[in-house]
Chains A and B, each alone.
Chain A
Amino acid sequence: MRRTVLALAALALAVSPGAAAARDCPRTTLGDIEDEVMCPVCGTPLGLASEAPQAQDERAYIQQLIHRCKSKDEVKQALVAEYGENVLALPGDQGDDDLGDVLVYVIPALGIALAAAGIAFAVVRWRRPEAKGRALAGADGARLDDDMERYDL
């Protein structure tokens, strides 16, 4: 009997309008959004601004929007309406700085490539003098042996 009541209660919850709305809600999470938006006062992504009052206020606002079933894009649009385009943290999101969006990817890649090239060059240079040194030592050694033979009394 108790199982039947529980099953009926579960069924009633599942077909209720609230549950239907919850099922239709996009799976938006605070963690998913806070890496992609800025805390405008802190000047850092929201995810890095833990204790700042403005960051806490912004998080509370995002949570409110999530509870209202807003998708990630809708949350971002609402944040832009409140804080302006600078709230968007991802390159390309702001839409008006194409060169900046390209550079933000190109510069780190260039930096990594240069660093790798530098390390490779340094390794080659580091190994070469040692080999050269051994070769010289060998030549010196042979000359010394010749001299020793010549002056062998």
Chain B
Amino acid sequence: MRRVLSPVPIAVICVLLALIALLAYGLAQNEPDRGVDEALARGEREPAPALELPRLGGGGSASLADYRGRVVVLNFWASWCEPCKDESPLLERWHRRMRDRGGTVLGVDMLDVTDSAQQFIAEYGLTYPMLKDRDGEGLERFGVVQYPETFVIDRQGRIAAVQRGPVDEEFMQSSVAPLLERS
């Protein structure tokens, strides 16, 4: 005898499948974009995403395009981020080394209280330009998921290197110094 499945189990299965699909979609949405890392692994340089943010502490806004023709060490940081404290003196040293050779460090303070960020800047004597990523727009565009992260952008506006986590002297020597020589 042919047994017809009642509509209730069918509905339950459909609801379960819908929930599983929703969960999978949510997980996929939270997956960080690793296109830059993959391109670098293939030896390719992707154009850096457009980024325009207000300057930290006021004074209008600045965009990455303003720095075209210079080597930019784009550093995403926050005052509450412990590893950011370790790398800041190194970034400041490199900024001073780079600024007369067509390069700059560009800090992006992300998801942070402005007063705390300014205290941090004063404490570590940071002189490089700073932008404020109030709502994480820059983080999303660059696929930043951990703090700090640094992107090295060449004079043509392409991402030449990326460091997920704090930078060190070795990274700066191997990823930034060669770009400064090619002016």
User: CB within 8 Å of B: which residues of A?
Assistant: 40-41, 53-54, 56-58, 61, 81-86, 114, 118, 121-122, 125
Contact = CB atoms under 8 A, between A and B. Distances in A.
Which 6 A-B residue pairings sit nearest by Cβ, starting from the closest?
A: A84-B135, A57-B80, A53-B80, A40-B111, A61-B113, A84-B134
B82 A82 contact: no
B15 interface: yes
6 contacts: A53-B81, A57-B80, A82-B134, A83-B134, A85-B135, A118-B12
B82 A53 contact: yes
Given A41-B111, A82-B134, A84-B136, 5 more contacts: A54-B80, A54-B112, A57-B80, A81-B134, A82-B113
Interface string B74-105: 00001111100000000000000000000000
Query: Which secondary structure dominates where chain A touches chain B?
Result: helix
B123 to A, nearest CB: 15
A91 to B, nearest CB: 18
Contacts of A84: 134-136
B8 interface: yes
B134 to A, nearest CB: 5
A22 to B, nearest CB: 23
B127 interface: no
Interface string B8-30: 10001001000000000000000
Given A41-B111, A118-B8, A57 B135 contact: no
Main secondary structure of the interface of B (DSSP, over half): loop
B114 interface: yes
Question: Chain B CB within 10 Å — which of A41, A61, A125 has the most?
Answer: A41
Contacts of A40: 111, 135-136
B116 interface: yes
A81 B112 CA distance: 10
A56 B79 CA distance: 12
Interface in B107-141: 111-114, 116, 134-136
B114 A82 contact: yes
A96 to B, nearest CB: 13
Nearest to B111: A40
A144 to B, nearest CB: 25
Contacts of A54: 78, 80, 111-112
Contacts of A58: 113
Contacts of B79: 57
Contacts of A41: 111, 147
A57 B113 CA distance: 8
A53 B114 CA distance: 16
Nearest to B8: A121
B30 to A, nearest CB: 8
Given A83-B135, A118-B12, A57 B112 contact: yes
Contacts of B80: 53-54, 56-57
A111 to B, nearest CB: 9
A133 B179 CA distance: 84
Contacts of B8: 118, 121-122, 125
